[in-house]
Structure 1
Amino acid sequence: MAGLPKTSDRRRHLSSLYLIALGSNRRHACHGAPGRVVRAAQEELAAFGTVLARSRVIATAPIGAAQRRFANAALVLESERDPPALLAALKRTEREFGRRSGQRWGDRVLDCDIVLWSGGVWRSGGPRAGLSIPHPAFRDRAFVLGPACAIAPGWRDPVSGLSLAHLHARLTSPRPLPR
């Protein structure tokens, strides 16, 4: 796929590439401030495959019910896990970092989302409990598109056909671009 980090031919048939978004806006007892939490999580996700690219961590404004600024980043992960298995591993990692269920879009120690998958579209389960790839809201979130565009600008959204660079430009352009 154009714009994605290359996988070795030998492993290509066994693995998939994932674009993972990470965020934090609460301190962690061991890792400290949210930026350090996100960097530590980027390291932890290597347990699920090979991290091929990682963005820098950026500071962003809170959204929804959240009260504190967020630290956000993205990474490209090559993994042999299928999307539901990777999601389960990401949710387990969130819990290990201290995430507790609570208010949607509230403050959290760690949030990990599968944004894109090299297999295209994935849908499972009901609308609230299921997994949807691409992530349903990623096109409208500069805090996802900015870091993602920095590491995989040519990766195309399988729904719109637009690259991450194009989606980011549409979202952040000072003037509305034609659709």
Structure 2
Amino acid sequence: MPMTILIALGSNRRHGRHGTPGRVLRAALAALQQSGGHDIGVTAASSVWITPALGPGGRTYANMAAALETALPPEELLARLHEVEAAFGRRRYRRWGARVLDLDLLAYGEAVRPSRHRWPGTRTRVRAASRALVLPHPEMHRRAFVLGPLLGIAPDWRHPVLGLTVRQMSARLRRPRVSVG
């Protein structure tokens, strides 16, 4: 069975050559496949979702999700994602700021980093030590702008720590919260 590698794509700034944020995302997928010797394939891509900004960024975002196949190890794939971001003009200087392109590695097969026994439950946040790679992405189950596009390409993908499918994580996120007391 092939390994499921999932990424999230986001943009909320026009690009001089590629145009609107939605077009930036499509161009980024093409660039990812063409970078570094054609060793990354896109096996599925969601439609573009327009979502409100998270944090003080203000501008709406175009978001997508994609499934990849590659023989690159996770760290090299992440480095490739960062190279594509940089080629599109991404500068990593301000959290929550407007950006022409944001590429996040959500899942790399069944990989769990840090190890499974160090992953806290869903009530606390997973924080990476310095810039260490955390897999699956520690906030993906809390973000509708990630789960929505994922529903279109991998609804039955199961989170290796939480044990929930994308469909179940999305339903939990949309479920109204009731206050007791």
- Fold shared, TM-score > 0.5 on shorter chain: yes
Q: Which amino acid aligns with 2:32?
A: L
In 1, Cα distance between the equivalents of 2:130 and 2:22? 29
In 2, Cα distance between the equivalents of 1:89 and 1:65? 28
1:175, CA displacement in angstroms? 5.5
In 2, Cα distance between the equivalents of 1:123 and 1:131? 8
Question: 2:138 maps to what in 1?
Answer: 136
In 2, Cα distance between the equivalents of 1:32 and 1:159? 38
1:64, CA displacement in angstroms? 1.3
Question: 1:162 maps to what in 2?
Answer: 164
Determine helix, strand or coil for the equivalent of 1:43: helix
Question: 1:84 maps to what in 2?
Answer: 75
Q: Which amino acid aligns with 1:128?
A: S
- Answer yes or no: is 1:43 the counterpart of 2:43: no
What stretches of structure 1 move > 4 A for 4+ residues in a row?
Answer: none
Determine helix, strand or coil for the equivalent of 2:4: strand
- The answer to whether the Cα contact below 8 Å between 1:122 and 1:133 also exists between their aligned partners in 2 is yes
Instruction: Count the aligned residue pairs.
Output: 162
Question: 2:86 maps to what in 1?
Answer: 95
1:123, CA displacement in angstroms? 3.5
- The answer to whether the Cα contact below 8 Å between 2:110 and 2:160 also exists between their aligned partners in 1 is no
- The answer to whether the Cα contact below 8 Å between 1:65 and 1:104 also exists between their aligned partners in 2 is no
1:119, CA displacement in angstroms? 3.1
Question: 2:123 maps to what in 1?
Answer: none
In 2, Cα distance between the equivalents of 1:61 and 1:158? 28
Question: 1:171 maps to what in 2?
Answer: 173
The TM-score normalised by the length of structure 1 is 0.85
Question: 2:45 maps to what in 1?
Answer: 54
Question: 2:148 maps to what in 1?
Answer: 146
1:52-84, Cα deviation, whole Å (9 max, x unpaired): 100000100011131211000000001100000
Q: Mark the runs of 5 or more structure 1 residues left unpaired by the alignment.
A: 1-5, 8-15
- The answer to whether the Cα contact below 8 Å between 1:65 and 1:103 also exists between their aligned partners in 2 is no
Q: Which amino acid aligns with 1:155?
A: W
Q: Which amino acid aligns with 1:129?
A: R
Determine helix, strand or coil for the equivalent of 1:133: coil
- The answer to whether the Cα contact below 8 Å between 1:145 and 1:164 also exists between their aligned partners in 2 is yes
The TM-score normalised by the length of structure 2 is 0.84
Question: 1:31 maps to what in 2?
Answer: 18
Q: Which amino acid aligns with 1:134?
A: P
In 2, Cα distance between the equivalents of 1:175 and 1:64? 21
In 1, Cα distance between the equivalents of 2:45 and 2:110? 20
Q: Mark the runs of 5 or more structure 2 residues left unpaired by the alignment.
A: 116-127
Determine helix, strand or coil for the equivalent of 1:122: coil
**What percent identity do the matched residue pairs reach?**
48
Of residues 106, 113, 130, the one that matches 1:115 is 106
- The answer to whether the Cα contact below 8 Å between 2:45 and 2:67 also exists between their aligned partners in 1 is yes
User: Judging changes above 3 Å, is the alpha-carbon distance between structure 1 residues 19 and 156 closer, same or farther for their aligned structure 2 residues?
Assistant: same
